[in-house]
């Protein structure tokens, strides 16, 4: 079919884009072009095509309809169809058809059946009429025309407004046209649910989509393939960039091809309730974004062709709609049949690394499942999981911890069943013990070498079940794959390195506006301080342990706490809180549970002292901790249970959350606008922590990060591997497992006879409790040699070698088939040995205590706000696993306390001069010489006496500097600096007053 003729002077217009798109749909994808006059404005249908489809695919139903409604069969069909469209919507009608009295069932669309066994369903699918109209005048009230409308069997599915960048208009112009000139009010074609399901704004380069027109509030989402890891679409020879709509690209079918569009209508599109600001629920139609559609269809195509036993790593950024992608994948794999019409998988198991199953994921699966028992969410015990698998549930959702209990192991070799295991957030934990349990439970047993004795066969069986399984396919979803995740689940490319099976990068998500760039407004604060000894003697100490105590002293010092609290609160009120009209939230990330408690206290004190009624802080940490002699828990401090915290924090009552470990991953609070970092972050932990900020929210245009601990370049370094596609320098060398074993054997405490004896008893124990002391007795023989033969340094080296061996073996045995029973023996024996080895003794001698130290000066120095956003070309490959902790601690020499303090000051870039504090110290001493003031400082809580102290200090400082106009002016005009100095001096004054009592 030749391309339609167009005059030369119109080749640059949008009409050329429109004609080309329609021509390609007709010539390449088998669409039929219909005249716009066939469109009925009142019903918003193509009645002729409706009749044509029903006549051809359901002749018996059409005959009954014609006999019942003589001469009015089409009219009756259209009337009843319109009523059903108004009642339940286009999607429901397409999927379930309608009924017309007397009990005439009419199907309006035939979907591809899961298998080809039902010939009637196959004919119905092949009989679908896909038609396209240009310049459709859709309104009964005016002559407005929509550029292109796509129909299935006479029902409108997609409208399209096309623009042409050569004439200065783009897809953004089309979006504006939909908002301003395509009001859905009174227009059945444009009415949500009742009319077309999707509206596309298109130019030659880009496509955006919406499922609901709401005039000025209409929100469009990108529907693009991605371009070099970012937004947009790649250049194509002799074609528009949007050719993926009508042409197959890179192994993927055209997005508007017959098979793809009908697949979306059958197995992707759904009507969902989405929570709006204020808690209001809004019904909306969910249509897959391009990367979601592409990922699911590629997985299904690959699994249909190759069956079970393959791994798929999907690197999908936050903001990718992962829950829906997982749900769609699970549903379609559960239905999947091979070319011989046999199910590819017996069950699909969705595994999440959380205690509570994702409600959105469950809701999406339930929206497609109607058969009882087809889908089983496991929210109770492992027995429930076992029952679900044994009963043949096709889709099972559970947490990975359910596979950790012994009684699930009865499912091992469950009739040779094949499983697809979808892992949500594939971390290294899913490459270790839990994944080991999961593999053992579900793997089929095929080892039957008659030359092996029972023990050897059992050992190789254990080893084999950790590795790749012919009956298990793993599908791992993560935004930040580690090196172990890439090697465990990645696909080997032509370069021999593992790569993601599918990519939706952080960069693309940012450029498409689905997440925010948390590095765009990044500010660091430098901490300067000067420490001195507060005791006369100068003891010798261990630097390694003492440095931690010195750091703790500075971190928890009242002056440091108060200054950081002031910076955090004032910055949040000034910059972040106005972002969402008072709804904005902040997270303060601390280094430990005690740090979180003390930071929360300092922030709360500052808020109360300043009378900021618009702020209130919560704290989050696990378990119980003793601080200042009091046993504290998160619920005890907050005043409500842990499970209530996310909801309480989301309310208007609280806006600052101080955390230690908790809520740094997997916590979605879109109102988070600011993060204050007071702990060292690196690698994937930095990315996951800072990514708590990246969720979008109406009115949220930017985020703020204030970092007291890290350098901007270090944070950028952490983000680089995950900004585009994550790659590896090279794969890990599996032979390193033998090198680790050899290094342990060189230390002459391992005895192979003992290992063999232990393994033999272990394999035959079969959970008998009386075997426990026997097994421990064998291992303790090695433990005794560990104590007697090795020096303290050698003991530490052996501990680290053993831990490295166990971790690396657990990983590498899942990647390749090792087929070496000696390694499995060492793994079984070593796992027990590690638990029974004595812990490393703490260094002997004294250690630093708070009364040994004196904080002579402290200052926070504000750095510039920088745009730390990564460039499109920035990337850093991950290193293979080749760095093992196997170096003993040798730093046992003793240093004096003075040397430790001097080294600590030097390392933390202390740059105070004497003028920074000696002149103010004289003011402080004058206050302490006043007995009335000394008594007041000794006998009153700091929060009571602090305001009056500030007034007195300021009065005396002005007098002291009356001859130094420059210093006096700086002190009076620099409020922030003045408050820092007075905070420091107040802390020193309180301690001085109490020491002199």
Domain ranges for the chain, please list them.
Answer: 8-231, 288-504, 522-728+848-907, 914-995
Q: Tell me the pLDDT tens digit for each residue of 771-826.
A: 788 899 999 999 999 999 998 888 888 998 998 899 888 888 888 888 888 998 99
Q: Name the 3-class secondary structure at 209.
A: strand
Give the model's pLDDT for residue 365: 85
Q: Name the 3-class secondary structure at 202.
A: strand
Kindly state the tokens that stand for 376.
């089983």
Provide the percentage of residues in the chain whose pLDDT is more than 70.
Answer: 81
Give the model's pLDDT for residue 940: 81
Distances, alpha carbon 469 to alpha carbons 251, 304, 446, 478, 506, in Å: 27, 17, 10, 22, 31
What letter would DSSP give residue 701? -
Question: Are 510 and 859 within 8 A, CB to CB?
Answer: no
Q: Name the 3-class secondary structure at 398.
A: strand
Give the model's pLDDT for residue 430: 47
Q: Tell me the pLDDT tens digit for each residue of 391-445.
A: 889 999 887 777 655 444 544 545 578 999 998 876 544 444 555 666 656 665 4
For the whole prediction, is pTM greater than 0.85?
Answer: no
Classify domain 522-728+848-907 at the CATH superfamily level.
P-loop containing nucleotide triphosphate hydrolases (3.40.50.300)
Antiparallel, parallel or unpaired: β 155-162 and 145-152: antiparallel
Question: Cα(586)–Cα(199) distance, rounded to whole angstroms?
Answer: 37
Taking each helix axis from N to C end, the angle separating 942-960 and 918-929, rounded to the nearest 10 degrees, works out to 120
Give the model's pLDDT for residue 272: 82
Give the model's pLDDT for residue 186: 92
Please report the DSSP string for 293-361 in residue order.
HHHHHHHHHHHHHH-SS-EEEEEE-TTS-HHHHHHHHHHHHHH-B-TTS-BS-SEEEEEESSSS--HHH
Beta strands in 871-981 (DSSP E): 895-896
Q: Name the 3-class secondary structure at 948.
A: helix
Question: Are 163 and 174 within 8 A, CB to CB?
Answer: yes
Which residue blocks in 73-118 are alpha helix, DSSP H?
73-88, 90-96
What letter would DSSP give residue 239? S
898's enclosing H/E stretch is helix 897-907
Antiparallel, parallel or unpaired: β 522-533 and 704-707: parallel
What letter would DSSP give residue 639? T
What residues contact residue 989 under an 8 Å CB cut-off, 6+ apart? 924, 927, 928, 937, 949
Q: Which numeric CATH code is attached to 288-504?
A: 3.40.50.10810
Burial of 194 by CB count in 10 Å (0-12 exposed, 13-18 middle, 19+ buried)?
Answer: buried
- In this prediction, the residues of the chain whose per-residue pLDDT falls under 50 are 1, 406-408, 410-411, 413, 428-432, 445-450, 842-845, 889-893, 909-914, 916
């Amino acid at each position: 079919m030749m391309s339609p003729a167009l005059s030369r002077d119109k080749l640059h217009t949008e009409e050329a884009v429109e004609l080309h798109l329609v021509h390609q749909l007709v010539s390449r994808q088998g669409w039929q072009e219909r005249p716009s006059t066939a469109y009925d404005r009142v019903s918003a249908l193509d009645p002729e095509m409706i009749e044509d489809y029903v006549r051809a695919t359901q002749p018996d139903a059409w005959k009954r309809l014609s006999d019942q409604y003589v001469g009015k069969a089409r009219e009756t069909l259209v009337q009843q169809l319109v009523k059903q469209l108004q009642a339940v919507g286009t999607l429901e009608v397409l999927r379930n058809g309608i009924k017309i009295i007397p009990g005439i069932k009419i199907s309006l669309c035939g979907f591809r059946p899961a298998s080809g066994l039902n010939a009637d369903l196959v004919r119905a699918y092949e009989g679908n009429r896909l038609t396209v109209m240009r310049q459709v005048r859709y309104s009964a009230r005016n002559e407005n025309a929509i550029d292109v409308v796509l129909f299935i069997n006479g029902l409108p599915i997609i409208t399209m407004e096309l623009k042409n960048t050569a004439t200065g208009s783009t897809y953004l112009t089309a979006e504006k046209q939909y908002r301003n000139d395509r009001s859905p009010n009174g227009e059945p074609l444009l009415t949500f649910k009742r009319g077309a399901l999707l509206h596309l704004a298109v130019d030659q380069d880009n496509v955006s989509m919406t499922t609901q027109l709401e005039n000025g509030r209409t929100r469009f989402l990108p529907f693009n393939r991605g371009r070099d890891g970012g937004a947009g679409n790649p250049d194509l020879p002799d074609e528009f960039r949007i050719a993926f709509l009508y042409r197959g690209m890179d192994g993927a079918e055209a997005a508007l091809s017959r098979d793809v569009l009908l697949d979306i209508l059958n197995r992707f599109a759904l009507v969902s309730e989405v929570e709006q600001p204020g808690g209001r629920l809004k019904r909306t139609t969910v249509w897959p974004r391009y990367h979601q559609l592409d990922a699911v269809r590629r997985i299904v195509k690959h699994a249909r062709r190759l069956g079970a036993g393959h791994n798929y790593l999907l690197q999908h950024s936050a903001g990718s709609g992962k829950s829906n992608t997982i749900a769609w994948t699970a549903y379609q794999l559960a239905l999947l049949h091979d070319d011989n019409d046999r199910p590819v998988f017996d069950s699909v198991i969705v595994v999440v690394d959380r205690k509570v199953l994702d409600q959105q994921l469950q809701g999406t699966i339930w929206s497609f499942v109607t058969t009882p028992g087809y889908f089983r969410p496991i929210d109770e015990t492992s027995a429930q999981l076992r029952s679900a698998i044994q009963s043949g549930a096709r889709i099972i959702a559970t947490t990975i911890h359910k596979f950790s209990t012994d009684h699930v192991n009865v499912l091992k070799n469950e009739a040779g069943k094949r499983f697809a295991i979808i892992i949500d957030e594939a971390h290294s934990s899913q490459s270790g013990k839990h994944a080991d349990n999961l593999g053992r439970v579900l793997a089929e047993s095929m080892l039957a070498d008659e030359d092996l004795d029972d023990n050897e066969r059992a050992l190789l069986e254990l080893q084999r079940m950790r590795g790749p399984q012919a009956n298990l396919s793993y599908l791992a979803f993560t935004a930040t794959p580690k090196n172990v995740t890439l090697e465990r689940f990645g696909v080997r490319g032509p370069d021999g390195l593992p790569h993601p099976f599918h990519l939706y990068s952080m960069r693309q998500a940012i450029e498409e506006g689905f997440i925010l760039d948390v590095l765009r407004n990044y500010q660091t604060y430098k901490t300067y301080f000067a420490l001195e000894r507060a005791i006369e003697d100068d003891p010798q100490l261990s630097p390694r342990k003492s440095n931690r105590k010195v750091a703790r002293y500075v971190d928890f010092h009242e002056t440091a706490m108060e200054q950081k609290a002031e910076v955090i609160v004032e910055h949040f009120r000034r910059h972040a809180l106005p972002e969402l009209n008072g709804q904005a939230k902040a997270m303060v990330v601390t280094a430990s549970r005690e740090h979180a408690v003390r930071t929360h206290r300092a922030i709360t004190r500052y808020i109360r002292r300043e009378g900021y009624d618009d702020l209130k802080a919560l704290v989050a940490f696990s378990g119980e901790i003793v601080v200042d002699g009091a046993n504290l828990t998160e619920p005890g401090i907050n005043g409500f249970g842990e499970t209530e915290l996310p909801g309480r924090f989301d309310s208007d009552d609280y806006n600052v959350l101080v955390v230690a470990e908790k809520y740094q991953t997997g916590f979605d609070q879109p109102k988070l606008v600011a993060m204050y970092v007071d702990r060292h972050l690196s690698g994937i932990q930095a990315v996951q922590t800072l990514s708590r900020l990246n969720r979008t929210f109406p009115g949220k245009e930017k985020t703020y990060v204030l970092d007291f601990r890290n350098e901007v370049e270090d944070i950028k370094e952490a983000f680089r591997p995950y900004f585009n596609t994550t790659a590896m320098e090279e794969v890990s060398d599996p032979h390193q497992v033998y090198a680790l074993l050899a290094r342990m054997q060189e230390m002459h405490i391992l005895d192979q006879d003992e290992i063999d004896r232990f393994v033999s008893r272990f394999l035959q124990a079969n959970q008998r409790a009386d075997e426990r002391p026997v097994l421990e007795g064998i291992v303790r023989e090695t433990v005794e040699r560990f104590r007697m033969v090795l020096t303290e340094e050698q003991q530490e080296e052996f501990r680290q070698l053993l831990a490295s061996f166990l971790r690396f073996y657990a990983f590498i045995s899942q990647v390749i088939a090792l087929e070496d029973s000696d390694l499995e023996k060492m793994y079984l024996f070593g796992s027990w040995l590690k638990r029974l080895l004595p812990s490393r003794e703490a260094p002997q001698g004294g250690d630093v205590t708070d009364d040994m130290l004196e904080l002579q000066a402290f200052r926070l120095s504000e750095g510039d706000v920088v745009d730390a956003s990564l460039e499109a070309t920035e990337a850093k490959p991950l290193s293979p696993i080749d760095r093992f902790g196997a170096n003993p601690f040798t730093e046992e020499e003793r240093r004096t306390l003075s040397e430790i303090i001097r080294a600590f000051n030097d390392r933390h870039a202390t740059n105070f001069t004497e003028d920074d504090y000696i002149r103010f110290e004289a003011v402080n001493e004058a206050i302490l010489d006043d007995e009335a003031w000394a008594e007041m400082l000794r006998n009153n809580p700091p929060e009571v006496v602090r305001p009056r102290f500030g007034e007195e200090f300021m009065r005396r400082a002005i007098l002291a500097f009356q001859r130094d106009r420059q210093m006096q002016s700086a002190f009076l005009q620099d409020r922030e600096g003045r408050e820092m100095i007075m905070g420091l001096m107040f802390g020193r004054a309180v301690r001085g007053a109490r020491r002199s009592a």
